[in-house]
């Protein structure tokens, strides 16, 4: 049974990491569950927003479970562990629904990369952020050197990835990486999520696509999604489909 659960509460869904005995470290079955849940959420029109949470308050996520990858042959480590994890985190980042991460405890390595894949983040005061991979002889592999480079200043990211320094909640707030620091980070994240319910679903979806296109988050797909949505609502599209089905030449109205 996977230790990453999808819980729907009305229009708000929760993705909950449930591996507190191992500081919510991620395994491949958990990543596969995340991908399955993200695909389901993207197709569920009843869900407006998603909150990513974790059991316990010691760690939001300590990263990837070292036992899951340490014995992998180099080719499998690169081909499956890194690339599959990257693809799955991209799936979360590119959800059409707004996402909020509740960083209730420390977020290290893959845990920080998971939080970075969300649209906004709320952090507990005592939590810290880190990229400790170099200390065990590897490098960040699930967007830690790529997506995080768009969200943090280059010198700060180098402090973390090269020198192993932790980022405090207050500094993360000052840098704009987190939206709020709150004693009850999960409750604060839930309040953020509830604010979405008074907005237009289509407007928030399109705004997210436009922002992602601007910052380079799957820019090609975002541009084509925006253009596809516009043309799909046109009279020309309706006429083109009707003509195809009737096996006649289309008469496009240009509307």
Q: Supply the residues annotated as catalytic.
A: 113, 133
Q: Are 150 and 92 in contact (CB under 8 A)?
A: no
**DSSP helix/strand/coil, 218:** coil
Tokens of 223: 């541009």
Q: What are the φ/ψ torsions at residue 184 (nearest 5 degrees)? A: -105, 85
Taking CA atoms, 179 is separated from 87, 118, 119, 185, in Å, by 25, 12, 10, 11
Furthest-apart CA pair in the chain: how many Å? 67
Q: What are the φ/ψ torsions at residue 209 (nearest 5 degrees)? A: -60, -45
Strand order in the sheet with 106-108: 59-61, 106-108, 128-130, 167-168
**Nearest 5°: CA angle at 36, between 32 and 41?**
145
């Amino acid at each position: 049974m996977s230790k990453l659960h999808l819980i729907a509460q009305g229009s708000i869904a929760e993705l909950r990491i449930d591996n507190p005995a191992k500081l919510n470290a991620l395994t491949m079955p958990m990543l596969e569950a995340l991908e399955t849940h993200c695909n389901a959420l993207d197709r569920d029109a009843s869900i407006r927003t998603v909150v990513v949470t974790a059991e316990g308050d010691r760690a939001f996520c300590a990263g990837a479970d070292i036992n899951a990858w340490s014995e992998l042959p180099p080719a499998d480590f690169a081909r499956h562990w890194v690339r599959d994890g990257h693809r799955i985190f991209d799936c979360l980042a590119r959800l059409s629904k707004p996402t909020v991460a509740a960083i209730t405890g420390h977020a290290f390595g893959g845990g920080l990369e998971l939080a970075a894949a969300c649209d906004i983040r709320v952090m507990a005061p005592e939590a810290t952020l880190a990229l400790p991979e170099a200390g065990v002889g590897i490098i960040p592999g699930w967007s830690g050197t790529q997506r995080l480079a768009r969200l943090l200043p280059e010198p700060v990211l180098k402090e973390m990835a090269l020198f192993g320094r932790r980022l405090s909640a207050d500094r993360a707030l000052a840098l704009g990486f987190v939206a709020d620091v709150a004693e009850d980070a999960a409750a604060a994240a839930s309040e953020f999520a509830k604010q979405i319910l008074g907005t237009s679903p289509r407007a928030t979806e399109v705004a997210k696509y436009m922002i992602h296109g601007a910052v380079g988050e799957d820019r090609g797909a975002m541009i084509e999604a925006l253009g596809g949505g516009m043309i799909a609502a046109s009279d020309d599209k309706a006429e083109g489909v009707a003509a195809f089905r009737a096996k006649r030449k289309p008469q496009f109205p240009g509307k």
